[in-house]
Structure 1
């Protein structure tokens, strides 16, 4: 179940800031969007398929006293990226935070993987992330923050998801190189690497897998979207003002 952040907003923490969270109509992305809104940011809820899901996230944010709009864009399609960035500027006048959350995860052992699977993963998880960052950086000012959602599988890979693991390794590398390039402009870049997190998206595919993942997680539980949202809230805050080009592991210590 996607967490909701209700009650009075944390006025001031992100007051006046505008954020885009890609792939935020459900799951981890929705949790991140709601947390940023609860901290005072105006948020673009990006979705590629279900406007109904996106509108539900917008409604939860608005009902809690925040501001948000939904915008359809498939990050794996380069032509969709510019209009997404423009939507923030047109609706709210600026863009301060980009959370690159949209991604695809599919099993692909060595016998099963294909060129199509490779392209599907890299076109969204890597190319889409980089081109979205490129477009966002063109309108961002000093003090802005870009957060890339990686995975614990980037540094602790699993052989049944070769291509996905490879994309997240690329994301970690991009977090470092983008941090180096954008640092002189006062724009920080951070990565967040979740472990196994319960979401609507994996409710069926991961059914019965809790014990397997918990056994590999020193903190003894699976993650929740709000665990990742809290880490993102730190990454975009002034508390992380001396942190860039690095990826924070938020996985309960999970290793394979």
Structure 2
């Protein structure tokens, strides 16, 4: 079988794809020939800009406002794929955090923080998979090729170190759910995850301020074994492995895409 990264005729939903990593993945999919459903919660202007960039690539695109923490919105997103008559790929990229980097500051988090993060980072992706399951199975039946679900997790879910204890815990749960769903949905649907570390995004720079951001980026570059500070396009390249036939024999895998940062935290548990 000849290896192909051509996704012509396939249809993908990418949640949280107005900006950042989600937008980069959506554009990579379009470049490979897929039709793409862009999703946003509040960033309508940015979502339309991303959609315009995808149209400029010659690909079809729909732009849908939806909150993945709401079951009805997840179903609405899945139904949008019916405009194309099929769904082959789901990327669960939408996610949130609360910044409490000092993990010893237990008072910095409360019950509602945990529930809010789990609602978006864990329950939302589950509801998206549930809403899309029939369409993904149908695509497999039509083509004989397993449909693909990719979860955007985080190295925080493996090391326990991240923007907050609640965030790290939610991503750890996300990694475990990836394994559970990979077992449950095989052989029709493959389920994998990527676990990025630092990702240099515009949102991150705006949040931190340019000077502080630049210092942090330099520190990341110096401290990672590969001496890199990843941007959205770098991680999107890794994501595409799981979304093409290159990974047709891979399911239940979590790929650490952090420039080797995790090597400083040992031993790592099974993931």
Asked if residue 29 in structure 1 is aligned to residue 22 in structure 2, the reply is yes
Contact 1:21 1:43 in 2 (8 A): yes
Which of 186, 206, 227 aligns to 1:183? It is: 186
Partner of 1:231: 238
Give the C-alpha shift of residue 51 in structure 1. Answer: 1.5
* Structure 2 runs not aligned, ≥5 long: 141-145, 266-271
* Structure 1 runs not aligned, ≥5 long: 1-10
Partner of 1:93: 85
Contact 1:110 1:160 in 2 (8 A): no
Contact 1:154 1:168 in 2 (8 A): yes
Distance in 2 (alpha carbons) for counterparts of 1:171 and 1:26? 22
Distance in 1 (alpha carbons) for counterparts of 2:184 and 2:226? 36
Contact 1:12 1:40 in 2 (8 A): no
Give the C-alpha shift of residue 216 in structure 1. Answer: 3.4
Farther off after superposition, 62-71 or 214-223: 214-223
Q: Segments of 4+ in structure 1 off by > 3 A?
A: none
Give the C-alpha shift of residue 249 in structure 1. Answer: 0.9
Which of 231, 241, 250 aligns to 2:248? It is: 241
Larger radius of gyration: 2
- Secondary structure (helix, strand or coil) at the match of 2:261 reads coil
Distance in 1 (alpha carbons) for counterparts of 2:162 and 2:23? 29
Which of 106, 129, 134 aligns to 2:130? It is: 134
Partner of 2:176: 173
Distance in 2 (alpha carbons) for counterparts of 1:231 and 1:238? 13
Contact 2:98 2:163 in 1 (8 A): no
Normalized against structure 1, the TM-score is what? 0.91
Asked if residue 251 in structure 1 is aligned to residue 247 in structure 2, the reply is no
Distance in 1 (alpha carbons) for counterparts of 2:106 and 2:161? 12
Partner of 2:94: 102
Counting only pairs closer than 5 Å after superposition, residues 49-68 of structure 1 correspond to structure 2 as 49-68=42-61
Cα deviations by residue, 1:129-154 (Å, 9 ceiling, x for unpaired)? 11111111122122210000010111
Normalized against structure 2, the TM-score is what? 0.86
Asked if residue 157 in structure 1 is aligned to residue 160 in structure 2, the reply is yes
